Amino acid sequence: MRFKTNPRSEVLELKSVLTFSILALLFPVYTSAQAVSENPFQVIFHWGELPNEREMGVVTGVHPDPDGEHLWIVERCSANQCAGSDLPPIHKLDREGRAVKSIGAGLFAWPHGFDLDSDGNLWVTEGAPQGDARGAEGSALGMGHQVIKLNQDGEVLMRLGVAGVAGDDALHFNGPSAVQIAPNGDVWIADGHRGGNNRVLKFSAGGELLLQLGGGIDSLSREVSRFNDPHDLKLDSQGRLFVADRGNNRIQIFDQEGELLSIWTQFGRPSGIWIDSNDKIYVADGMSGEQWNPGWQRGIRIGDAKTSWITDFIPDYEIQNGSGIEFLATDADGNIYAGQVGRQRFEKYVRVRP
């Protein structure tokens, strides 16, 4: 340290140094010392083939099959809407991206959230909240505001919520945006999408409400344990629930009893989360930038769910006013599969460097 020649200034500066040193011992200061590697992935912009050379619709869900050989996706019927369509929106793809099975025709208006349980059953949410123009066509047909469980042959096994009826009690949703099934069968639901109920619910495997976080009158909130557009849910190996609290530009983490454990803001404006079996976390930020989150760059941030440290970043250079990547998952080889919402394409990111 270089001290000034003025004796009084020297004393003041020394006092400041001593004060800061004491504070640093009491309250450790963490700086941006971690290094994020250069993008180690290459992207295939248009990946996946639907039956009869159909155009890929907006992909709103991705999940590897338990067999390790296939990948399931949900897309909005070759467009951004399924209401009135006779096209199936759920597809099972092989390793080359070819659809080997397609199911779910006529069941959904505006599919949004997606998960597979340990038995391979599929869970899909209807994500258009009341008053959202994107849900108008489904509402006219008495559809929406549900979470639907299917087997892999497309048979409906369970419905949560009342079709076409929005609400904020234990029996109704308002555009549920995400669903996550715990290993014991408990069902976590983010309810709902923009303008929805801004709450997270936990149900038993049989559909009994066990827990609610957030929600209520004037439910949109920046307060801890409350939400603004909770957009995705994922569980890590410890059973911690990660909530993409997108409108608040943060991830909130809870235990199974709903107690808040931590809040992370280093992943930008999170739309989608994926956590692999090694607790590596992948977060899709498709909305940062001047419109919604100034000073942050869009892309995929990859880190450690145990430590919260970010290790890799895949930038999205195609900045636009609409949404970018919102939904993603990985396979056993570490390749990333992502839905570009605003550009209506499905992408595969192949790791080319460690």
The pLDDT value recorded for residue 354 is 81
The pLDDT value recorded for residue 5 is 37
The pLDDT value recorded for residue 129 is 96
Q: Which residues contact 165 (CB under 8 A, 6 or more apart)?
A: 145, 172
User: Is residue 121 classed exposed, middle or buried when 0-12, 13-18 and 19+ CB atoms within 10 A define those classes?
Assistant: middle
The pLDDT value recorded for residue 19 is 37
The pLDDT value recorded for residue 46 is 96
pLDDT band at 218 (very low <50, low <70, confident <90, very high): confident
* Least confident stretch, 55-64, 69-78, 290-299: 290-299
Q: Which residues contact 320 (CB under 8 A, 6 or more apart)?
A: 342
Residues 195, 191: Cα–Cα separation, whole Å = 10
pLDDT band at 259 (very low <50, low <70, confident <90, very high): very high
Report residue 59 as tokens: 């992909």
Do 3 and 10 form a contact (C-beta atoms < 8 A)? yes
Average pLDDT over residues 251-258: 98
Report residue 276 as tokens: 């692999």
Q: How would you list the strands of the sheet with 111-116, edge to edge?
A: 111-116, 122-126, 147-150, 156-160
- 101 beta partners: 92
Do 129 and 196 form a contact (C-beta atoms < 8 A)? yes
Residues 29, 302: Cα–Cα separation, whole Å = 23
User: Is the model's pLDDT at 215 over the cut of 70?
Assistant: yes
Stated pTM of the model: 0.89
Do 125 and 176 form a contact (C-beta atoms < 8 A)? yes
User: Closest by alpha carbon to 192, among 210, 209, 178, 213?
Assistant: 178
Q: Looking at per-residue confidence, does 20 or 207 come out higher?
A: 207
